[in-house]
Structure 1
Amino acid sequence: MKSFMIRIATLILLLAFAVGLCANAGSMFEIADKDNTLSSAPVIYGDKVLFNIYAGLDDFSAHERAVVISKRLKDLAEAVSLTQDSLHIQIEESRRHILYADKLIMIIADADTIALKEDADEIAGAYHSLISERFIQLFISYSFKDNIFSIIKTILLAGLVIALAIVLFRLLARLMDMLKRLVARFKKEYSLGIVVRGFRILTAEQFDKTLSFLISLTNLILIIILSYFALYFLLYVIPYTRFIALQLQAYIMHPIAEVGQAILHYVPNLLFIAVVIFVSRYVLKFLRYFFDEVEKGNIHFKNFYPEWADSTYQLVKFLILFFVVVIIFPYLPGSDSPAFQGISIFVGVLVSLGSSSAISNIIAGIILTYMRAFRIGDYIKIGDKEGFLIETSLLTIKIKTVKNVEISIPNSVVLSGNITDYSSYAREENLILHTNVCMGYEVPFQKVVEILKDAALKSEGINTKKEPFVHIKNLNDYYVEYELNAYTDKPESMARLYSELHRNVMLGFEAEGISLLLPTQSAIKIKEDKA
């Protein structure tokens, strides 16, 4: 029942549209006749004014056009026997030609659309109707028998169109029922939804709603198409409404023809864009291979380090893609239209305003890459954050702390602060760990130095091939400040090494019976009691 009501509503809307076309044909010329700014020239056959011309065409004025059209109609009346079926409209780019068979009667151009303030198809349809009713009708005479035969023929053809439309609508209803049964079967088969390689694309409810929407949309589109053709053929088989059918046809075919011509004209540009994209794609593939080989060390350049390879490729890739966009932009459809250019400027302004911090991070990332301030896997300290460098990009770096906390730091912050890399020299010359110990003057310094060196050598992770050393930093009032220095090639274990080093220092002094308490002296002034 619902589908039947939709079909009836669609037919009523299309019929109302067709009636509106018919009414508009008369009102168009009535408005033009009342406009004092337009000069009209009559097209005359015999002593009868058929219609008026309101604009010139190329080098012809409106009056000269009217004279030419009048002469064409006169010649046509004398040359052939006229019938309604041979009068038609032909589309030629932006113009509409009204012809009888292959003989031109008149041309509808842009000047007519400006003067009458209507679309070229509507103007052509209106003139077609006037020529049919006021000119060709003059030469058609029917006997009573012919009239009866024509009426019966029209009724039979109209009945055939209606019957065929009813059959097609019923077939459409059956097709929709089949699709609904098919959907019900799919719903049972995909009760868990659509899952591809373990990833759920649609849930069961979403799958049901999507299929129902697609079926309803398909049903609506097919109803509109069938209703259009049913109305078109119904109007076409009736001689007095045939011009409305032709106008309906023009409304559909004209946009399709324009789209087809636009696609055809765009083919060279499309081929150019395809060639540019094809070439750039394989250039990028070659550069990817080239920089991969540089990163692996198979290709060497003086003063170009392998760790620069990936960043350099990304930078070159961005520049190539940028130039590709610049090259193909003028060849995009609508790129020369003011609307397209306005939207492009608007988007550009939004991007420039919203990406200032992103651009500063990208520039900082490029600078940091070629500074070689650090490498992946290094143990670094930036500000008060320290940890292993696990990832670098054009926008941020990521470090992992010894507490397994991942921290992202913008490149602009990294570049503007201090960068401490504990790993850069630890690979070859080792990192020096140092800690301070204070001891009173009563303990011989030789004994303190011996205990500190021994504590360092007993710590796991300290390089025993390089002897630790002790500096006497300060001679204070009551104690001496010593600094123990020891080598390690494991900067990533600094926290553990310091802990073990401190533990061994305490155990060393404890084994020698030396306390780590510092001697202090206090002075207290006692006020005399005069009482």
Structure 2
Amino acid sequence: MYGNEVLLSLTDQDALWAGIPRDSLIKERKKLVVDKLTQMKAEHSIWRMAKRILYFLLVIVGQFFLFRLTNWLFHKLKVRILRLRDTALKPFSIQGYELLNTQRQVNLLIFLAGIGRYIVMGLQLLITVPLIFIIFPQTEGLAYQLLGYIWNPIRTILVSVVEYIPKLFTIIVIWYAVKYLVRLILYLAREVEVGRLKINGFYPDWAMPTFHIIRFLLYAFMIAMIYPYLPGSNSGVFQGISVFVGLIVSLGSSTVIGNIIAGLVITYMRPFKLGDRIKLNDTTGDIIEKTPLVTRIRTPKNEVVTVPNSFVMSSHTVNYSSSAREYGLIIHTEVTIGYDVPWRQVHQMLIEAALNTPGVVDDPRPFVLETSLSDWYPVYQLNAYIREAEKMGQIYSDLHQNIQDRFNREGVEIMSPHYMAMRDGNESTVPKDDLSKRI
């Protein structure tokens, strides 16, 4: 009893369960109640409450000075960083591009220091707030609960990190194995490209494209091997993201994949090489770039034409350079001369004009074909061999100039005569030399 309030009642049944007489059980339980009440009275005494308030104030003041100390240290660090701008810091450049000048580096360091300051202050609060709750009995349970909120995630993360270490080592081993295998293949590809390593039926210009294909396959294989060891790879969210990314790629990359496949086919078909002069449909120019997606051509007018590889595959291509390298490229031009000029003389003048043209080779020798005999003139086609397809435009220009000069020296007009006359039957258009031979 406490006053008129019954605190605890005991029966013979309780004593029987405890295995002792009821009087002994009553004394034992009374002692427990008295001790607890005495403890509670002491905890809620004015002196104990004053001590708690004092502890509370000490914690608050201590945290205040900790904040001041943190801000002071940050200010000192900021001043030290500003001094580095004119002493130790240098601009950071990548391939000539200034990525970070000294001022940007200073701003970045100050920003990182500010983040560090807030992290330190947050950690201080994580310790101070539970400490304040522990001071008062009414909030002591809340303090342990708050500490659990803080410690349980940290403990879970630490345990997960420790348990993940074997998988991490497996990923590192796979990564380095693939990395050095790629380096070995790159070394072999470069040896084939420069001609030091020869493989029958394998052209040197296939070396680097083949290396890129093998490297892609090796990295894809590496990702497939590493995937099961990634954190959360078995979770539904991770798998859903993988399916979504795969769907986006499959729906949006049909044209890209078509161009890549066409680029691979073009590489191994070898219809042209970098620097070749080609004609692709109505576009004539030099190949300046071949990528997995497009081929770029520079025309003689210095225009850069970008052509998708799938279009190259579906179009007909004329390679002037390969013909010039192997057996000589034939350039041709036509002139029409009247019947009054002997054809043998025309042939001789055209061949001499060709041989005097820079870029035209004398072996094989130029030749002339008479492609048609019209009513008023024959058509002479001059054919000449060249070895430099990229200079074809200039060679054509020089050839036409030499033809004009040669015919002008002989007094032969390059024209297509048309006649409107009433003949009396006495004159003939047959050359006089041929008439004299007949007589």
Q: TM-score range by the shorter chain?
A: 0.7 to 0.9
Pairs aligned (count): 397
Partner of 2:38: 141
Letter in 2 for 1:142: Q
Letter in 1 for 2:39: Y
Asked if 1 retains the 8 angstrom alpha-carbon contact of 2:130 and 2:147, the reply is yes
Further displaced range: 139-148 or 357-366: 139-148
Residue identity (%): 37
Asked if 1 retains the 8 angstrom alpha-carbon contact of 2:328 and 2:386, the reply is yes
Partner of 1:162: 60
Partner of 2:437: none
SS of match in other structure, 1:424: helix
SS of match in other structure, 1:236: helix
Distance in 2 between residues matched to 1:503 and 1:47, nearest whole Å: 132
Partner of 1:411: 309
Partner of 1:515: 413
Letter in 2 for 1:505: I
SS of match in other structure, 1:425: helix
- Please say if 1:344 is aligned against 2:242: yes
Further displaced range: 166-175 or 139-148: 139-148
Distance in 1 between residues matched to 2:267 and 2:77, nearest whole Å: 59
Partner of 2:368: 470
Distance in 2 between residues matched to 1:224 and 1:457, nearest whole Å: 89
Partner of 1:22: none
- Residues 473/137 of structure 1: CA separation in 2 closer, same or farther (3 Å cut): farther
Offset of residue 137 of structure 1: 10
Offset of residue 263 of structure 1: 1.5
Partner of 2:435: none
Partner of 1:389: 287
- Residues 186/297 of structure 1: CA separation in 2 closer, same or farther (3 Å cut): closer
- Please say if 1:375 is aligned against 2:273: yes
Partner of 1:175: 73
- Residues 276/204 of structure 1: CA separation in 2 closer, same or farther (3 Å cut): closer
Asked if 2 retains the 8 angstrom alpha-carbon contact of 1:462 and 1:486, the reply is yes
Asked if 1 retains the 8 angstrom alpha-carbon contact of 2:369 and 2:382, the reply is yes
Asked if 2 retains the 8 angstrom alpha-carbon contact of 1:378 and 1:423, the reply is yes
Partner of 1:54: none
SS of match in other structure, 2:334: strand
Offset of residue 203 of structure 1: 5.9
Partner of 1:362: 260
Distance in 2 between residues matched to 1:378 and 1:196, nearest whole Å: 36
Partner of 1:257: 155
Aligned pairs for 1:52-451 (under 5 A) are: 139-142=36-39, 147-186=45-84, 194-196=91-93, 199-202=97-100, 210-211=108-109, 213-451=111-349
Offset of residue 468 of structure 1: 0.8
Distance in 2 between residues matched to 1:360 and 1:471, nearest whole Å: 45
Gaps of 5+ in 1: 1-44, 49-70, 72-77, 82-134, 525-531
Asked if 1 retains the 8 angstrom alpha-carbon contact of 2:339 and 2:378, the reply is yes
Letter in 2 for 1:420: V
Offset of residue 393 of structure 1: 2.1
Aligned pairs for 1:459-498 (under 5 A) are: 459-498=357-396
Asked if 2 retains the 8 angstrom alpha-carbon contact of 1:190 and 1:204, the reply is no
SS of match in other structure, 1:443: coil
- Residues 290/145 of structure 1: CA separation in 2 closer, same or farther (3 Å cut): closer
Asked if 1 retains the 8 angstrom alpha-carbon contact of 2:278 and 2:320, the reply is yes
Distance in 1 between residues matched to 2:42 and 2:414, nearest whole Å: 135
Of 347, 353, 367 in structure 2, the residue corresponding to residue 455 of structure 1 is 353
- Residues 201/302 of structure 1: CA separation in 2 closer, same or farther (3 Å cut): closer
TM-score, normalised by the number of residues in structure 1: 0.68
The alignment yields a C-alpha RMSD, in angstroms, of 3.1
- Residues 345/174 of structure 1: CA separation in 2 closer, same or farther (3 Å cut): same
SS of match in other structure, 2:274: coil
Distance in 2 between residues matched to 1:462 and 1:181, nearest whole Å: 75
- Residues 279/435 of structure 1: CA separation in 2 closer, same or farther (3 Å cut): same
Q: Deviations over 1:27-54 (max 9, x none)?
A: xxxxxxxxxxxxxxxxxx9779xxxxxx
Offset of residue 201 of structure 1: 2.3
Letter in 2 for 1:454: E
Asked if 1 retains the 8 angstrom alpha-carbon contact of 2:280 and 2:315, the reply is yes
Partner of 1:85: none
Q: Deviations over 1:289-310 (max 9, x none)?
A: 1122222222222222121111
Offset of residue 480 of structure 1: 0.3
Asked if 2 retains the 8 angstrom alpha-carbon contact of 1:468 and 1:484, the reply is yes
Asked if 1 retains the 8 angstrom alpha-carbon contact of 2:93 and 2:100, the reply is no
SS of match in other structure, 1:339: helix
- Residues 479/145 of structure 1: CA separation in 2 closer, same or farther (3 Å cut): closer
Asked if 2 retains the 8 angstrom alpha-carbon contact of 1:452 and 1:484, the reply is yes
Offset of residue 243 of structure 1: 1.1
SS of match in other structure, 1:440: coil
Asked if 1 retains the 8 angstrom alpha-carbon contact of 2:349 and 2:403, the reply is yes
- Residues 143/438 of structure 1: CA separation in 2 closer, same or farther (3 Å cut): closer
Asked if 1 retains the 8 angstrom alpha-carbon contact of 2:85 and 2:103, the reply is no
Letter in 1 for 2:302: N
Gaps of 5+ in 2: 1-6, 11-17, 19-24, 423-439
SS of match in other structure, 1:462: coil
Distance in 2 between residues matched to 1:433 and 1:323, nearest whole Å: 51
Q: Deviations over 1:432-483 (max 9, x none)?
A: 1111111111111111101111111111111023211111110111110111
